Structure 1
Amino acid sequence: MTEAEWLESTHLFGLLDYARRRVSGRRLCSYALFWVDQTLHLLTDTTRRGVEQYRVRAAEPGRVIEHTWYAYSPGFSTSFTHGSAANHAEDAAQALQFNDWTTAALVAGRAVAQDRVYGPRTPASARSVYDLRFRFWEVAEHVVREQVFSLRCAVGNPFHAHTCDPEWLTPTVLALARAGDSGDASALPILADALQDTGCEDGPILNHLRGPGPHLSCCWCAALILGKG
């Protein structure tokens, strides 16, 4: 994969396959956790508790997270193409606990798309089978775009290492970066403005912070400013 392909591609599986070979496990784990979290309301109590326990373990200081690859195992590959939103959510949570973050994110995205279409918020005008099927693929494409953006939010650009100019690190910038790092995505566009006020002209950083989202709490821009790498 080239840098241009990484920056422009919307082929989620290809991006994830590249990222898992080039990016730290902790960042991919955070990415997968974000998407599994979007499906918590679909999980059984037992599976939800398992996800919470996994989150605690993954957050332990200095914990080394090993990545395993189960994407083509019979159970996951079958559930990825068939089943309800709840079934996909359960399989995504199971993949997460196997440290198979690529599958967890992919299947969780499928669960999110199905839930958005077939859940209680489905418009009355889209009740027919034909309309629902059309609506699913439309929503699924939107979810994939969200997943692609959030993957880049988690891992940045593996082809280019950004540096942080010490002159950017004003109290305002640091406070906004901490807010973004704690999960307040609304702080990130303001952070872009604050960085620009300090003289920052790094286009990829400014454009990402002003991007449509969803932004993760482990956003690479906030991590760079806070010295988290």
Structure 2
Amino acid sequence: MTEAEWLAGENLFDLYYFSRPLLSDRKAALFAVGCVRLTPLDAPHSVLRRASDVVEEAVDGQCDLDEVRSVNGAAGELCRSVVLDSPDHFKALAALRLTDTPVSSFVWQTALFLQKVLEDLPGTGGEPHAARRLHCRLLRDVVLQPFRGTRGQRLSRKRRQAKLSLLQREWQSATALGLAEGIYQDRAFDRMPILADALQDAGCENEDILSHCRQPGEHIRGCWVVDLLTGRN
């Protein structure tokens, strides 16, 4: 994959499997949770809502895996009780894939099943295509640009971590850290431009970081800038 394909690509399968070696299980799970939260479904099924809640809680250590497995079981039962290939069936499949433990390499299929829901809802028009683009943007939100400064070569996870550690020491002011933690806890991603200003005030001149904070569009828990500042992997 080239840098241009990474930045503009709309094939989630290709983007996900290209970036999966750079993703922790936590980030992979939060990517899927973000897809559930931001995809404009008519009405997310209660099992799907519960799945996104418990997985998000589990990655932060606020609930144990038994709760995730319980929701996974409920999603499996729902899959067997609803009409095959109906919107409710695809919602149940999304919940089932989201709650796989340990985090499956197929967690990206949560997004795929959400797209299938939109395809099967009347009057959605181009929404499945819009959702596909959204999911690709969300993946890029949780993955640090894998090509920057490498002459088109992908950064290994080890080299990325060394780069991030160096950046952290340069500008982790109390204001920036407090803003980043508040953004994470409150899901207040509208504050990202304010975070960019705080980082600049602390001496950050990294264009990747500043532009990511200021770019229009969606951010989710797992955003690589917020995780960088708060010490989450």
Return 5+ residue gaps in structure 2 as ranges.
Answer: 66-83, 147-153
Contact 1:179 1:187 in 2 (8 A): no
In structure 2, the partner of 1:31 is: 31
Query: How many pairs align?
Result: 192
Residue correspondence of structure 1 range 34-183 to structure 2 within 5 A: 34-38=34-38, 41-43=43-45, 45-46=46-47, 48-49=49-50, 51-60=52-61, 83-98=85-100, 99=104, 100-111=106-117, 113-114=118-119, 118=122, 132=123, 136=125, 138-158=126-146, 159-160=154-155, 161=160, 162-163=163-164, 164-182=167-185, 183=187
CA distance in 2, matches of 1:51, 1:146: 17
* Aligned equivalents of 1:142, 1:47: Cα separation in 2: 20
C-alpha contact 2:171 2:204 (8 A) present in aligned 1: yes
> CA offset at residue 210 of structure 1?
1.4
3-state SS of paired residue (1:215):
coil
Distance 1:55 1:165 in 2: 25
- Unaligned regions of 5+ residues in structure 1, if any? 65-81, 119-131
* Aligned residue in 1 for 2:20: 20
SS at match of 1:92: helix
CA distance in 1, matches of 2:22, 2:178: 30
Question: SS where residue 213 of structure 1 aligns?
Answer: coil
1 CA distance for matches of 2:56 and 2:198? 32
Q: Counterparts of 1:109 and 1:30 in 2: how far apart (Å)?
A: 18
In structure 1, distance between residues paired with 2:8 and 2:109: 22
1:64-83 Cα shifts (integer Å, max 9, x gaps): 9xxxxxxxxxxxxxxxxx94
Query: 1:51 Cα deviation (Å)?
Result: 5.0
Tell me the amino acid that sits aligned with residue 87 of structure 2: A
Indicate the SS of the match to 2:189.
coil
Cα 1:206–1:89 shift into 2, 3 Å: same
For 2:97 and 2:174, how far apart are their aligned partners in 1? 40
Moved over 6 A (4+): none
Structure 1 residues 49, 187: closer, same or farther in 2, change over 3 A?
closer
CA contact (8 A) 2:33 2:55 kept: no
Instruction: Tell me the secondary structure at the aligned position of residue 214 of structure 1.
Output: coil
- Give 1:84 deviation, angstroms: 4.1
C-alpha separation in 2, matches of 1:59 and 1:22: 20
The structure-2 alpha-carbon separation of the partners of 1:193 and 1:56, relative to structure 1 and needing over 3 Å to count, comes to closer
Cα contact 1:184–1:217 (8 A) shared by 2: no
